[in-house]
Structure formats: structure tokens, C-alpha cells
Amino acid sequence: MPTLHTINKSPFDRNSLQTCLRLANKGAAVILIEDGVYGAMKGNTVSATVEKALSDLSIYVLGPDMKARGVDESKIIDGIKVVDYKGFVDLTVENDKINAWL
């Protein structure tokens, strides 16, 4: 059963992203929303962890939330897919379970 994990907190305020990446089952999807989008950026303290997780997980970031925070798509880690709201809805439909990390 595929699971979609949502992360809405900055990885610099909480360890939700790191914990999710460590515990999520192989093949799961993770979407970074709201302040969670900062976890998709290259060159920070969690980048290596996120890059490593891409081999087992599909990682997405919500484009409108990136734009609202001034995060340019060129700053996103290679392999992370930028989705719009329709893409987010599609992910919720494609996955049997949704786990929100707070």
C-alpha cells in the first residue's frame, strides 16, 4: 500500500523531515509543502540526507509554496519533482494512505 507523507515544517525548526525520510517505507512518496519546501533546497544541512533518500522515495515539492517563499526552482535538489495543486491532489488519489508529519 503506497503512502504519501506530507511535511509542512522547516527542517531547520523541527526534525519531521529527517524522521520521515528515515522511517518511510521504500517506494513511498513525500511532498514538501508550506515551510517544508526549505528541505528541498540544495546546499543546506539536510541536503545530503534528502539526496540519499531519493534512491528509495519519490520526493515532491509544491511549486506555489516555493514561490510564496521566494524559492527559485533552480535551487531545488536534482530529482525532486515540482508539482502544482493538481499534482498534489493527484498524489493524494494515487496513494492509499496519507501521513502528515507535524
**C-alpha distances in angstroms, 96 versus 3, 27, 53, 68?**
6, 13, 21, 29
Is this prediction's pTM over 0.75? Answer: yes
Residue range 3-101 forms a domain whose CATH class is alpha beta
Map out the domains of the chain as residue ranges.
Answer: 3-101
| Chain centre to alpha carbon of residue 65 | 12
Per-residue pLDDT reduced to its tens digit, 38-74: 999 999 999 999 999 999 999 999 999 999 999 999 9
Q: Which pLDDT value is given to residue 60?
A: 98
With pLDDT > 90 as the criterion, what percentage of the chain qualifies?
98
